[in-house]
Chain A
Amino acid sequence: DTGVSQNPRHKITKRGQNVTFRCDPISEHNRLYWYRQTLGQGPEFLTYFQNEAQLEKSRLLSDRFSAERPKGSFSTLEIQRTEQGDSAMYLCASSLMPMNTEAFFGQGTRLTVV
């Protein structure tokens, strides 16, 4: 296991379409995070999982966004009815509980909504 893996790396979609991204965390990590990053900004928290349980969602996360982590392994992030404002880099990270451990990020999925 070489790290956190995200697919696809790039996605171009038309406004109104649905998209789904996948994240495979480091295998023994029980925490998985999703962040979004726009140009010139730092990553912004979206949601996180502890094993298969989604424990926190950002208030910024609209109802069009949904994330799952079945069986506590990989995770998917789906955006329904995409809007141009959804264009961003979507980053996934994983870490091992308890706290005070490093969080490792994947290479991200760059979404462009046209």
Chain B
Amino acid sequence: SQQGEEDPQALSIQEGENATMNCSYKTSINNLQWYRQNSGRGLVHLILIRSNEREKHSGRLRVTLDTSKKSSSLLITASRAADTASYFCATDPNTGNQFYFGTGTSLTVIP
């Protein structure tokens, strides 16, 4: 079963705009990871945020985590056409040893 759920399912923006996508999950977690997947390709690891962290930055990426609301957000600033991809969150429940993915947000950045 999939624990995470990304919102929105699809997002279309103009190049240069910011893109925000959200992830909600069901159980307590050790950490949460965000991945990018270009069509038909493997997943590229973007960022990991631990349960005791609230915010993390990596280049144009900003991730927040609110464990009280069981949610996370991924912000991509100054988007580029190359950011067009599907974005997934993966949660690592502290009751298990695997991680669960949501159904992803499909981002389209229009040049």
B-contacting residues of A (Cβ < 8 Å)? 4, 6, 33, 35, 40-45, 48, 50, 55-56, 89, 91, 93, 99-108, 110
Contacts of B43 in A (CB 8 A): 43, 91, 93, 105
Contacts of A106 in B (CB 8 A): 42
Contacts of B40 in A (CB 8 A): 89, 110
In Å, the complex CA distance between A6 and B35 comes to 18
A-contacting residues of B (Cβ < 8 Å)? 2, 4, 30-31, 33, 35, 40-45, 48, 50, 88, 90, 92, 96-104
Residue of chain A at shortest CB distance from B44: A105
In Å, the complex CA distance between A86 and B30 comes to 31
Contact A103 B41 (CB under 8 A): no
Contact A103 B99 (CB under 8 A): yes
Known: A56-B96, A56-B97; 18 extra A-B contacts, CB below 8 A, are: A4-B42, A6-B42, A41-B104, A42-B4, A42-B101, A42-B102, A43-B43, A43-B88, A43-B90, A43-B101, A45-B99, A50-B97, A91-B43, A99-B92, A100-B50, A104-B45, A105-B35, A105-B43
Contact B33 A103 (CB under 8 A): yes
Contacts of B102 in A (CB 8 A): 42
Contacts of A93 in B (CB 8 A): 43
Residue of chain A at shortest CB distance from B50: A100
Known contacts A42-B101, A56-B98, A102-B33; A107 and B42 CB within 8 A of each other? yes
Contact B2 A44 (CB under 8 A): yes
Q: List 26 A-B contacts (CB under 8 A).
A: A33-B98, A41-B104, A42-B2, A42-B4, A42-B103, A45-B98, A45-B100, A50-B97, A56-B97, A91-B43, A99-B30, A99-B31, A99-B92, A99-B97, A100-B48, A102-B33, A102-B48, A103-B99, A105-B35, A105-B43, A105-B44, A106-B42, A107-B41, A108-B41, A108-B42, A110-B40
